[in-house]
Amino acid sequence: MKSKLIKKIQKSKLTAKLGIWGKDNIVREDGKCYAEDYYCVKCYKGKIETRAKSFWPAIDPDIPSYPYCGDCKMKLNLYVWEEMEKKK
């Protein structure tokens, strides 16, 4: 019984820590914002709470970047590459 309670508490702490991009502003003690502190924006729109892995696209500070999980980021990369190949 005690182990179930501990797991439930640990899960609630994990869920409480993650933020929603555009609504929550999570900044760590070092003054930086990390994707791992947020839900993946694409999964969250589909009502799936997946921890983000990285910001994408992260190629230019003037282009807005959003937190995505590994699977969604890979799908976006493939989509961009396919679109670039079509324009050749």
In this model, does residue 66 exceed pLDDT 90? yes
Q: What is the pLDDT confidence band of residue 17, given thresholds at 50, 70 and 90?
A: low
Mean pLDDT, residues 5-13 taken together: 48
Element (H, E) at 54: strand 54-56
Q: List own/partner pairs for 27-34 with CB under 8 A and 24 or more apart.
A: none
Tokens of 22: 């555009």
Number of domains in the chain: 1
The whole domain housing 51 covers 2-86
| Confidence (pTM) | 0.72
User: What is the DSSP pairing of strand 54-56 with strand 66-68?
Assistant: antiparallel
Per-residue DSSP letter, 39? B
Q: Is the dihedral of CA 66, 56, 73, 25 positive or negative?
A: negative
